[in-house]
């Protein structure tokens, strides 16, 4: 982060500019630098110049930007965690990162029990936030050149720290700016939570490289996001499909974002027709892309590409990035043949944070990273993401582990056997459906299932949204659960539900 932070300082010395616009108002660059310098004084131990690894509560507000500047000025490594992380999740993060300092608002600081995770001196910084740092700071070199650690849930349910270098951040932002026609001084909007690696890269870091305003929004509100982006002349933003569709609905055909050059959309299943309607309503162009925390960005179409290429497929690799589809034995497949995605290029991560150091990624012998996705390559180099190798449901950009949800449901009363499967949804991409074989009694309803999950403390993010009674679960020839058949069955039952008179898809409570 040092390079971008120093560029920010030099730019501010030449001209004080509006650097951040958030729920609290507008924030000038020099004021942010003042906050960053004060924070850095609190971060640095007496015996060393570096600020080490700083774990921050990353919110969509000026404090996240000031903290990034401070860590950049101090030559440290910035680690991001969302304010809604549970105490257990935070404990796992601390075990993996072994941070030298923790920064959060007081209520969250107490909820995480941060003081017990890192005993040390506590300070009030950034207008009332809490900071605790170890009296001794370990060299940030333990991250092998990593400057940013973001968390990804992947499909394991436990957050994983993805370690990225500054060169990877710079490459991803430069290619994104080139593709979308962004110029020095352009404003960009960050409406996805900055606690994710991609949101931080294509929000904070991109704004640093462009030297323009970063338009932020705390809690998601489609109408406020639309109004703020239009009022402050944002030229680009990145979001998940759900947000793009909701923005389109809020615009109601007004073309309110006609000044936006393009909106990059990724992170889940996408419906071409729904995205097309959204961009027409907004007055901009939507670019459907493929990327992940471990390999930032890495594909995109161009704003002037025809709709089929922009919305029907998932982009072409960034210059310098290579993607291939391979068979189970690792053999590269020709265009048109679906296979397992592998990628290599300048935005590839350094590894995962494990026990305070980098655990290098498991790459192929020739340096490719298996992404866990199934893709098909076209003759023109464009890719189409076909799904995931692992059993996950991607709801509104969030990965949900099917087996984890099924464990939650295993002891549900009157359920003899069950499985979950994704069903398509125009707004969220996918929703969670439960196929249930009942042990006794009448049909099992959604209210019965969710009531049980609520009593047992299962988070709502893992609740099914549809329940379908079945005589038995689909099986393979050897008696294992047939995931593909289960998906097809759930989709068919869901379609029947939508076709039924007077039925609303979110009100479904079993379909005997």
Question: Is the confidence at residue 103, as pLDDT, over 90?
Answer: yes
pLDDT of residue 152: 83
Lowest-pLDDT range of 38-52, 181-195, 456-470? 38-52
pLDDT of residue 154: 52
The rounded distance, in Å, linking the Cα atoms of 422 and 369 is: 26
pLDDT of residue 403: 77
pLDDT of residue 26: 97
Identify the DSSP state of 319. T
Helix (H, G, I), strand (E, B) or coil at 225: helix
Question: Is the confidence at residue 369, as pLDDT, over 90?
Answer: yes
- The answer for residues whose C-beta is within 8 angstroms of residue 449's C-beta and 6 or more apart is 409, 412, 415, 434, 436, 463, 464, 467
The rounded distance, in Å, linking the Cα atoms of 481 and 177 is: 45
Query: What six digits make up the tokens of 294?
Result: 């471990």
Helix 402-409 to helix 446-455 angle (10° resolution) is 90
pLDDT of residue 391: 77
pLDDT of residue 48: 61
**Per-residue pLDDT tens digits for 281-333:** 999 999 999 998 999 989 999 999 999 999 999 999 999 999 999 998 899 99
Give strand ranges (E) for 138-233: 146-152, 160-165, 187-190, 214-216
Q: How far is CA 343 from CA 201, 206, 301, 317, 407, in A?
A: 19, 23, 17, 9, 33
Question: Is the confidence at residue 509, as pLDDT, over 80?
Answer: no
Question: Is the confidence at residue 439, as pLDDT, over 90?
Answer: no
Domains in the chain, start-ordered, CATH in brackets? 2-377 (3.40.50.12780), 392-507 (3.30.300.30)
Question: Is the confidence at residue 461, as pLDDT, over 50?
Answer: yes
pLDDT of residue 406: 87
Average pLDDT value for residue range 94-112 = 96
DSSP H or E stretch at residue 436: strand 429-438
Question: Is the confidence at residue 501, as pLDDT, over 60?
Answer: no
Tell me the residue length of the chain: 512
Please give the share of the chain, as a percent, with pLDDT higher than 70.
Answer: 94
pLDDT of residue 239: 92
Q: How many CA atoms lie within 13 A of 183 on its CB side?
A: 2
**Per-residue pLDDT tens digits for 234-272:** 999 999 888 898 999 999 999 999 999 999 998 766 778
- The answer for residues whose C-beta is within 8 angstroms of residue 429's C-beta and 6 or more apart is 241, 242, 268, 269, 270, 271, 394, 395, 396, 397
Lowest-pLDDT range of 289-298, 380-389, 499-508? 499-508
Average confidence score pLDDT of the chain: 90
The rounded distance, in Å, linking the Cα atoms of 345 and 361 is: 14
The rounded distance, in Å, linking the Cα atoms of 282 and 225 is: 12
Q: Give the residue, 389 or 93, on which the prediction is more confident.
A: 93
The band of 72, judged by pLDDT with boundaries at 50, 70 and 90, is: very high
The rounded distance, in Å, linking the Cα atoms of 115 and 122 is: 8
Average pLDDT value for residue range 126-154 = 88
Around Cβ 367, how many Cβ atoms within 10 Å?
A: 12
> What's the count of helices (H) and strands (E) in the chain, helices before strands?
16, 27
Average pLDDT value for residue range 117-132 = 92
Report the greatest alpha carbon distance in the chain: 75
Lowest-pLDDT range of 273-277, 385-389, 441-445? 385-389
The rounded distance, in Å, linking the Cα atoms of 49 and 371 is: 38
Helix (H, G, I), strand (E, B) or coil at 407: helix
| Closest C-alpha among 193, 170, 179 to residue 287 | 179
The band of 508, judged by pLDDT with boundaries at 50, 70 and 90, is: very low
Question: Is the confidence at residue 30, as pLDDT, over 70?
Answer: yes
pLDDT of residue 504: 41
The rounded distance, in Å, linking the Cα atoms of 128 and 285 is: 41
Question: Is the confidence at residue 95, as pLDDT, over 90?
Answer: yes
Q: How far is CA 83 from CA 113, 193, 272, 371, in A?
A: 13, 10, 33, 27
| Closest C-alpha among 27, 420, 422 to residue 207 | 27
Written as one string, the DSSP assignment of 437-477 is EESSSSPPPHHHHHHHHHHTT--GGG--SEEEE-SS--B-T
| Closest C-alpha among 385, 386, 418 to residue 403 | 418
Within 374-440, residue ranges assigned H as helices are: 402-409
pLDDT of residue 49: 63
The rounded distance, in Å, linking the Cα atoms of 208 and 185 is: 10
Lowest-pLDDT range of 143-157, 173-187, 240-254? 143-157
Query: What six digits make up the tokens of 186?
Result: 């352009």
Around Cβ 447, how many Cβ atoms within 10 Å?
A: 11
């Amino acid at each position: 982060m040092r390079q971008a932070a120093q560029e920010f300082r030099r730019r501010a010395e030449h001209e004080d500019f509006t650097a951040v616009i958030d729920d609290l108002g507008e924030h000038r660059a020099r004021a942010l630098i003042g906050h960053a310098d004060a924070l850095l004084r609190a971060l640095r131990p007496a015996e060393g110049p570096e600020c080490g690894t700083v774990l921050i509560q990353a919110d969509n507000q000026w404090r996240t930007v000031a903290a990034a500047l401070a860590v950049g000025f101090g030559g440290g490594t910035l680690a991001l965690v969302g304010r809604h992380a549970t105490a257990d999740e935070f404990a796992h993060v601390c075990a993996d990162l072994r941070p030298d300092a923790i920064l959060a608002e007081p209520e969250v600081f107490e909820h995480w029990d941060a003081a017990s995770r890192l005993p040390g001196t506590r300070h009030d910084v950034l207008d009332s936030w809490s900071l605790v740092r170890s009296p001794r700071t370990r060299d940030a070199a333990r991250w092998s050149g990593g400057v940013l650690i973001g968390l990804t849930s992947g499909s394991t349910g436990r957050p994983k720290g993805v370690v990225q270098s500054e060169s990877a951040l710079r490459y991803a932002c430069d290619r994104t700016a080139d593709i979308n026609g962004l110029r020095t001084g352009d404003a960009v909007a960050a409406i996805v939570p900055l606690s994710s690696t991609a949101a931080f890269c294509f929000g904070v870091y991109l704004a640093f490289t462009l030297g323009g305003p970063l338009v932020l929004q705390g809690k998601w509100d489609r109408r406020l996001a639309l109004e703020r982006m239009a009022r402050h002349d944002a030229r680009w933003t990145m979001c998940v499909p759900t947000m793009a569709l909701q923005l389109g609905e809020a615009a109601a055909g007004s073309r309110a974002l006609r000044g936006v050059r393009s909106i990059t959309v990724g992170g889940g299943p996408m419906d071409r027709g729904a995205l097309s309607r959204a961009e027409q309503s907004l007055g901009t162009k939507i670019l459907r892309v493929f990327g992940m925390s471990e390999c930032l960005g890495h594909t995109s179409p161009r704003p002037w590409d025809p709709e089929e290429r922009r919305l029907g497929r998932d982009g072409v690799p960034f210059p310098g990035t290579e993607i291939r589809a391979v068979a189970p034995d690792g053999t590269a497949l020709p265009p048109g043949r679906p296979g397992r995605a592998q990628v290599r290029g300048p935005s590839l991560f350094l590894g995962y944070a494990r026990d305070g150091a980098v655990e290098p990624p498991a790459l192929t012998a020739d340096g490719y990273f298996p992404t866990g996705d199934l893709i098909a390559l076209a003759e023109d180099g464009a890719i189409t993401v076909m799904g995931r190798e692992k059993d996950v449901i991607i709801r509104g950009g969030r990965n949900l582990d099917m087996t984890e949800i099924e464990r939650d449901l295993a002891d549900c009363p009157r359920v003899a056997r069950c499985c979950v499967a994704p069903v398509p949804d125009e707004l969220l991409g996918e929703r969670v459906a439960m196929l249930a074989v009942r042990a006794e009694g009448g049909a099992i309803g959604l209210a019965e299932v969710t009531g049980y999950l609520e009593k047992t403390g299962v988070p709502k993010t893992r609740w099914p949204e549809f329940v379908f009674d079945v005589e038995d679960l689909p099986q393979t020839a050897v008696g294992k659960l047939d995931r593909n058949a289960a998906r097809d069955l759930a989709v068919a039952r869901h379609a029947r539900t939508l076709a039924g008179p007077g039925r609303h898809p979110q009100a479904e409570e079993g379909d005997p």
